[in-house]
């Protein structure tokens, strides 16, 4: 259920070093099959990388259980948190992960900026991935001495405006009532799920028990792009396509889905508008 951003880089690494990428399967509800994860995890495993929340399905992965199993074998864990940061309060120390990555624009900040958190002891062992100003403490023709963390990984002039905008987004999110947000988003998801289930020709893709505010769906006779076009004409903003998660589409045997995403600023009335727009889709396509 991974986004391409948590697939393609590891495939590139595998080509470079001869490693093997092993994939944890998901069931038809879109949930990680934990028994298979336990079977795949062994003494040869070098890193576990998994999404926190699936952008295509809305599934919230059991990350604490995943991390605990990996930790028992001394295997580091990276979480792709791009979809989690706008929906959950994230405490990397509580999660126990070794790396956590997320982008600014998914948390109502600017594009072109994000965060890669890493545990200090691991970052200390890692070489810089690029050179430039501030990542050095001393340069001679004989040797370059790297700067202390985090500067060792911050070569060149930083994205100053983006960092300021990201900081403002973090401050904004920290000031919200997250218990209230969780309750509101759960209400929206439940309401929308029940409403969409009233359409016999519509199938929801991703029915995990633990989900964030994402509803991906398909029709048995209408392509997702056509659905998205009509919903757009009705003033409803959705995404249609493979959502940079082609293996998910292949798993469920569909070319694409239409995805409605909910956040704390959405309302039940907006879901009613979505339902009316879907009714127009069915009227147009019969």
The catalytic site residues sit at: 244
Rounded Cα distance between 28 and 40, Å, is: 19
Q: What is the DSSP code string of 98-145?
A: SEEEEESGGGTS-SS-EEEEE-HHHHHHSPPSS--TTSEEEE-SS-EE
* Tokens representing residue 146 in the block: 């790297």
Nearest of 216, 164, 218, 198 to residue 272 by alpha carbon: 198
Give dist(CA 91, CA 179) in Å, integer.
Answer: 15
Q: How many CB atoms lie within 10 A of CB 230?
A: 19
Lookup: tokens for 112: 């072109």
Q: Which two tokens stand for residue 72?
A: 């028992």
Distance CA 99, CA 78 (A): 4
- Distance, in Å, from the CA atom of 34 to the CA atom of 41, rounded to the nearest integer, reads 10
CA end-to-end span of the chain:
32
């Amino acid at each position: 259920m991974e986004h391409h951003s948590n697939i393609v880089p590891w495939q590139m690494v595998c080509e470079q070093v001869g490693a093997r990428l092993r994939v944890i399967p998901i069931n038809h509800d879109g949930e990680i099959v934990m028994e298979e994860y336990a079977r795949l995890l062994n003494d040869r495993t070098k890193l576990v990388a998994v999404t926190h929340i699936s952008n295509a399905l809305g599934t919230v992965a059991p990350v604490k259980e995943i991390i605990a199993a990996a930790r028992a074998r001394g295997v580091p864990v990276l979480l792709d948190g791009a979809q989690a940061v706008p929906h959950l309060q994230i405490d990397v120390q509580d999660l126990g992960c070794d790396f956590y990555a997320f982008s600014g624009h998914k948390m109502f900040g600017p594009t072109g900026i994000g965060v890669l958190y890493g545990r200090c002891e691991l970052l200390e062992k890692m070489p810089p991935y690029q050179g430039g100003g501030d990542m050095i403490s001393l340069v001679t023709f004989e040797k370059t001495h790297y700067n202390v963390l985090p500067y060792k990984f911050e070569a060149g002039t930083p994205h100053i405006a983006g960092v300021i905008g990201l900081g403002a987004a973090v401050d904004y999110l920290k000031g919200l009532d997250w218990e209230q947000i969780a309750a509101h988003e759960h209400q929206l998801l439940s309401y929308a799920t029940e409403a969409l289930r009233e359409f016999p020709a519509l199938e929801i893709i991703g029915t995990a028990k633990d989900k964030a505010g994402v509803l991906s769906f398909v029709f048995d006779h209408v392509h997702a792009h056509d659905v998205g076009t009509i919903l757009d004409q009705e003033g409803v903003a959705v995404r249609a396509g493979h959502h940079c998660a082609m293996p998910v589409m292949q798993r469920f045997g569909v070319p694409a889905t239409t995805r409605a995403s909910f956040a704390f600023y959405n309302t039940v009335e907006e879901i009613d508008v979505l339902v009316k727009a879907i009714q127009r889709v069915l009227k147009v396509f019969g």
